[in-house]
Structure 1
């Protein structure tokens, strides 16, 4: 099953520890344009490696990385380690403080058909190509993907709690979450992490594009190496692993925005009534509340008017996509099949790259963009549950793209992991 390894992280020189909060950055696929521009003003912010700029962004990142290493802005830890990473956060309307506990390590970049690492949603090709190019040029994982392993006995939590008594970093991020990092370098303790994961499957929660970039790079290197052993640096990928049995995993909804309807609004509403009960609502800012907890229910905001859509149960069996019952039951499958394919005529494959279709987590932003005519229609959705993610993964199927938004997002900048052969191996790797 899942093979994990400790690694020697590249981290900011210790003189930068007091200002580590100014060096972190959001993941490449969630950073806003405004955030991005502000972060670029700091010449040593991690965004220059994770979301590089210029006509040749990947090459620029590689050159900058070399410079940072030479100038000792970054240094590599002497010993391989497991890096414990906790995120403390609250959700709107709640006073409870959650703590998502996990750890960063290297994991073998398993092909999907090996059934060791399981995905739950599709990727968008252009985003994968960008990640491959960046990895090829820098040989660096600038941000971790997020994976889930199931351990109902919670065998690693006490070890992580003990390490977290002496964190090396603690800061508040752009989401308002408090991020803390601790280091485990004790070989016996690390071996316990390896042992717990060795009989586990891992569900990929977040970072499908980054993981697929590592997977494609591994395939390319394997094909070019007649002496491939499976232990080369290119076989591994940086991952943040959390226990799927914990109560602090939160998934937020991802709404859909359509820049332009391919049919008139009048025709759109008329066709929707073939499949949905369409109920006008006065206040668009209550759409997320009127659908909360309701199966196959959506909010629609178009042409200044809000509607609640509820699928007519008798039409559900019309879904003819070749997928599993677990996927057909999902709200987002209903939305993408009946609204985008049947009503708007955008077939399933075309939806992945459909121009003007975007995915937005912020509910208020959806309403604002329709009001400002930046988008013509907003589709408000409920969140996917952890149980649904598990059932889809174990069924061997995948959800529609951008189905989940695990919260909070992992941040970039605490550490980086190298797959440069000259930096990957350690003298004490034989211990693991």
Structure 2
């Protein structure tokens, strides 16, 4: 089902004085304002392409990209390859070192209706529009999105393990993660990668906005090209693929923070009681622990007071959204239906652009925002499991926005993927 291709990456010139860790940057949707300012000070950091800062960001990024190519700051690899990418990391409270194994390639930008690439959550429209414009002007994928394929036999891992012994780069990123990149040029091995993926569906783990940007760009270019064949460079998208069967695939929770609500604390709690058992807690820093492993349980930090919320099981059937059971059973569906729609009276279609609603991965940051007055309340949730992601994807439905946080994030700057016709390998046979 999934057509993938090797590619000739654009990478930083090895003769540059900068070390590669000085040139990498976080993805556009996770980079903080403070990180941005520090990274912008390096005139050739990758952030100038991925999150350009100007009045005409997409146009200026295109000019800058061409300038970097002309000056030899970026150089295209002479041979197409599959780029192996390993991330070694630890989680708080554990001494275990995890290793997420995967590889970066081009994949056809399949329409959702084709059921080759499956999504699991909603996107935010303004973010998609930004990505489309940047892609259209630069014809460059500045970072790979993250997709999952299922291979219980682990066919490709031995070849990736061998490749990673001779890395192109090895560095520690902003997350404290050790990132290692290598490349496979062997034609026989590349052919095995292509054959292994051709009968698989892909679940989109991270990068829904960037993927939708590529998808919309493909649709636009297809409509403008009467000679469209399906092999043009604009048909493809840069993706990091990992095996969903691997034990080291980690998903972290994404909490909700609200700046304000139009009711008193007492009224809010009273309305919640119709749906939840509310248990006061002394220590807000234990809210993430008291809900672990409990279905439909949340932590609430409201104006400096802590509560554990647990949905009354008998009200779950009241969910009237036309979703399959796989979605109705999710914690975040319960949160968004009973707390946002029923209590706060914000309809589902309005929640994606709800004023004052933000998403926070860092638990302690949620508490701090309420304590400093930057927010009125924080809703703490459990992580979504890999099995839940699979069930939702295969059901054809989608989760609420910002449901998953696959950790660690890939970084930007190791490589770039061009979709310019004269810089792209389009026919599969030409790659082998």
Aligned pairs, number: 432
Separation (CA, whole Å) in 2 of partners of 1:297 and 1:83? 41
Mapped partners of 2:254, 2:280: distance in 1: 22
1:290 aligns with 2:317: no
TM superposition shift of 1:143:
0.7
Counterpart for residue 101 of structure 2: 101
Report what 2:54 is aligned to: 54
Q: Distance in 1 between matches of 2:103 and 2:169?
A: 14
Kindly state the Cα deviation for residue 186 of structure 1 after the two structures are TM-superposed.
Answer: 1.1
Deviation at 1:216, TM superposition (A): 0.3
Report what 2:84 is aligned to.
84
Q: CA separation in 2, counterparts of 1:14 and 1:337?
A: 52
Aligned to 2:223: 223
Name the counterpart of 2:253: 253
Could you say what secondary structure the match of 1:374 adopts?
Answer: coil
SS at match of 2:28: coil
1:265 aligns with 2:265: yes
The CA RMSD measured in Å over matched residues stands at 1.1
Alignment match, 2:41: 41
Indicate the residue corresponding to 1:139 in structure 2. Answer: 139
Alpha-carbon distance in 2 for matches of 1:426, 1:350? 41
1:163 aligns with 2:136: no
Deviation at 1:264, TM superposition (A): 2.3
The structural deviation recorded for 1:265 is: 1.9
User: Secondary structure at the residue paired with 2:36?
Assistant: helix
Shift of 1:14: 1.2
Look up the match of 2:185. 185
Distance (whole Å) between structure 1 residues aligned to residue 141 and residue 429 of structure 2:
20
Contact 2:80 2:431 in 1 (8 A): no
SS at match of 1:15: coil
**2:370 maps to which residue?**
370
> Contact 1:80–1:426 (CA<8 Å) still a contact in 2?
no
Structure 2 unaligned residues grouped into runs of 5+? none
Deviation by residue 1:17-41 (Cα, 9 ceiling, x = unmatched): 8700111000000000001111111
Deviations 1:341-399 (A, max 9, x none): 00000010000000111100000000000111111110000000000000000111100
TM-score, normalised with respect to structure 2 = 0.99
Checking the alignment, whether the CA contact within 8 Å between 2:144 and 2:240 is kept in structure 1 is yes
| Corresponding residue SS for 1:307 | strand
Matches of 2:122 and 2:16, distance apart in 1: 38
The match for 1:313 is 313
Q: Give the match's secondary structure for 2:15.
A: helix
Q: Does 1:114 align with 2:114?
A: yes
Task: Answer yes or no: is the 8 Å Cα contact 2:231–2:426 preserved in 1.
Answer: no
In the alignment, the residues of structure 2 paired with residue 357 and residue 133 of structure 1 have an alpha-carbon distance, to the nearest angstrom, of: 26
- For the 8 Å contact 1:79–1:426, the answer to whether it is kept is no
SS of the aligned residue for 1:87 comes to strand
- Structure 1 residues 96, 421: CA separation in 2 closer, same or farther (over 3 Å shift)? same
Looking at structure 2, the residues matched to 428 and 213 of structure 1 have their Cα atoms a distance apart, in angstroms, of: 24
Q: What does 1:325-364 align with in structure 2 at a 5 Å threshold?
A: 325-364=325-364
Deviation at 1:127, TM superposition (A): 0.3
Q: Secondary structure at the match of 2:400?
A: coil
Deviations 1:96-133 (A, max 9, x none): 10100000000000000000000000000000000001
Q: CA-to-partner distance for each residue in 1:200-227, whole Å, 9 max, x for gaps? A: 0000000000000000000000111111
Q: 2:231, 2:427 within 8 Å by CA — same for their partners in 1?
A: no
Cα displacement (A) at 1:15: 1.6
Q: Structure 2 CA distance, aligned partners of 1:103 and 1:159? A: 11
Q: CA deviation at 1:262?
A: 2.6
